[in-house]
Amino acid sequence: MALQEVQNDPFNPEEFVERLAWKATNGKCTTSADFDPMSLHQAFEKMILDLKEEEVRVAKRAERLETQVKEEEKKHRQRVSELQKQNQTAFAHYQRLDEQINFVATKVVHLGDLLEGANIPRTRTVEAQTLMNYFAEFLSDEPPTSPVFKDPFHAGSAQLQAAADVIQKLYVISQEIPQNDRFNKAREGIAKKYDEIEMALIEDFVRAHNEGQTRKMKKIALVLSNFKGYNQCIDAFIEESQRGAFLKPGIFDEILPLCEKTSELINEVFINPEAVMTKFVLNIYHRTLQEHITSKLTHKDDAEEYLNNLYDLYTRTVQLSKDLSTQLTMGSDTSFLQKSLKSLFGRYLDTYISVEMQFLKERLAAVLQRYYDSKSHQKRQIQTGTMHDFRREMQAKMNINIGAPTENYSGETFLSHEVAINVLQESKMAFKRCQALSSQSETSNNAVKVFDCLVQYLCIEHIDYAIELGLQAIPLPEPKSTPDTYFFAVVGDSNTIFHLFEKQFNDNLVPLISSSPRHSECLQRKRELMEQMENKLDIGLDRTIQAVVGWIKYVLSTEQKRTDFKPENEEAPMLMYSQACIQVVKYVHGLLRGIRESLDGKNLEAVLTELGIRFHRVVYEHLLQFQYNSLGAMLAICDVNEYRKCVKEFGVLLVTQLFDTLHSLCNLLVVVPENLKQVCTGEHVAGLDKNVMMTFIQLRTDYKTAKLANQFK
């Protein structure tokens, strides 16, 4: 059992010794009393002897196996040597056989050349004799009697093709013989028979086409390739191939599949498939396609339909040409497709831009007119320039109306997002047509024409016109009634529409003019338009804010009473805020909602900042007009606190700080004289000019009696 373990693979000697010791002691080696070293020693000696005997046996077996391997190696070497000798013998036999085959082949080729040299003249002589016999039949007064000419049209296709071969050769001969009376009759007879057989071949070709006999078509086409009427055969093939096609309205969907199907047949039948395929495509272009295009573009009464049809037909034809040139084999020169395209659309493309511009102008004018008609508004000439500005300045200084009264159109801005989108959509389609229908050299110029039209009707006729109306409707700086402030809506709508205009400029115009000098011109034009619009909007915003501030000033001056801040009875109950403050805060809240609805972003921030600064100035100057006792000063502080709450909704830090400072100044009106100097050095008013603080302190009714001026000396 132990020796069998030695033969196991893998063999672990340490484990083997451990197992041997365990078996020798029967597992009783846990204590020194149970351990018998002699039994273990005897077991080891016995195993060593067994292993030595096993080593001797293994060595003898290995020696015996080595001897067998050497004998087999010797036999194998002998077999390989014999096979090499046999191979050399076979190779020598092969070389001799190859030499004999080459020798025989050379003799055969030589003999074939001799036979061919002798046979060709004989064959030519026989063929010439046969043709002379056929020609002699045409010299006689009787019709040809040879079987090949005897009713070949009903004898079958094979005889017809044989007759065609003969008559074609006779026809060539007849064209070379002298022109005299002797041979005229034969020449005429041959020509007549030539035409008859040619027509019969074409008819046979058409029948084979209709019956789907491709192999027969190929044979007839090969015969006809030597005839004058080969082109007639091709024409007949083209006509038959298109029979039953293009009966539905969408012919573009049929052309490519038909060409692909026909191309396969052409490659099988004709010896010059590229030329035939080219002729097939040209036939479709100049007959079927041209008739379809002419029927669609004959009438220009409806310019929109005409332009859409022209764009659709042209783009689909261009795509068809690309598909045909990539998917069909028509030779290396496919420029004929481009020439055909110019031939089909040349006269329409020459007048395209004039039709486009006339249609675009009429359509955009109609869009604007429908909008103004829906508003019952008649567009009028707006007076602008120096005289108009001078008259407005005089009105502002004298606070009277000069000339016609200002019309506010019931708050209508005369700006419509829907109109703008319609105008931009029409111009977008025009840019799209311009890109497709203009030549490469004229694309940029035509695109600029469309751009000029868009500028005229959207930017000038719509946006600028609405801004001018809004400017004229702005009240004077010191109105006596609540001013209309819808110019804020004019600003918001103008910006929104102009952003849409800019987007179309970048998306549709720039790709058409980016590589031409017109790009910089259009950028400059857009920049000028934007600057002009911004200048007018800035003027309108300034005038509107002037009117708003003037109205606040008017409300304060008419509603604020002197007794509000200097009540005769200081024991009377204190008001939370004055009536004037209530009206002003209510008005500003409503105004703020309208501004936020109309403006956003930096425009909103700029307007609220300017309005807040001017509002502060009006309140500040208003407060300086009154004297304040303790009760009135408390009311003033309450009013200013309401104003401060109101302007916090502006979300402008500067304005909030201004009213916070004003609130701190008003606190100087109620501070007891003993603490006044300390308050003036507080954090809220410490940074103010001393003269400003003194101005407010002088408004106190106890300024002289309490000798407040002495505290600041």
The model's pLDDT over 200-249, given as tens digits with 9 standing for 90+, comes to 778 888 888 888 888 888 888 888 877 777 888 888 888 888 887 777 77
CB 364 within 8 A of CB 457: yes
pLDDT of amino acid 1 = 47
Quote the DSSP letter at residue 505.
Answer: I
Q: Residue 489: in which H helix or E strand, if any?
A: helix 487-504
Quote the DSSP letter at residue 418.
Answer: H
The model's pLDDT over 380-404, given as tens digits with 9 standing for 90+, comes to 877 665 545 545 455 545 555 544 4
Q: How does DSSP assign 603-623, residue by residue?
A: HHHHHHHHHHHHHHHHHHHHH
Residue 537 makes CB contacts below 8 A (sequence gap 6+) with 467, 490, 491, 494
Which residues are paired to 628 by β-bridges?
A: 700
pLDDT of amino acid 463 = 94
- pTM given for the model: 0.70
Q: Which of 44, 51, 1 is nearest to 24 (CA)?
A: 44
pLDDT of amino acid 130 = 58
Residue 604 makes CB contacts below 8 A (sequence gap 6+) with 595, 596
Residue 523: count other Cβ atoms within 10 Å of its Cβ. 13
Query: Two tokens at 16?
Result: 């083997």
CB 617 within 8 A of CB 556: no
- Where the chain has pLDDT below 70, the residues are 1-9, 11, 26-35, 114, 116-191, 329-334, 383-408, 569-575, 683-686, 711-713
CB 656 within 8 A of CB 647: yes
pLDDT of amino acid 337 = 84
Residue 613 makes CB contacts below 8 A (sequence gap 6+) with 654, 655, 658
Residue 255 makes CB contacts below 8 A (sequence gap 6+) with 284, 288, 289, 320
Q: Which of 173, 177, 151 is nearest to 162 (CA)?
A: 151
> Can you tell me the distance from the alpha carbon of 129 to that of 579, in angstroms, rounded to the nearest whole number?
135
CB 462 within 8 A of CB 524: no
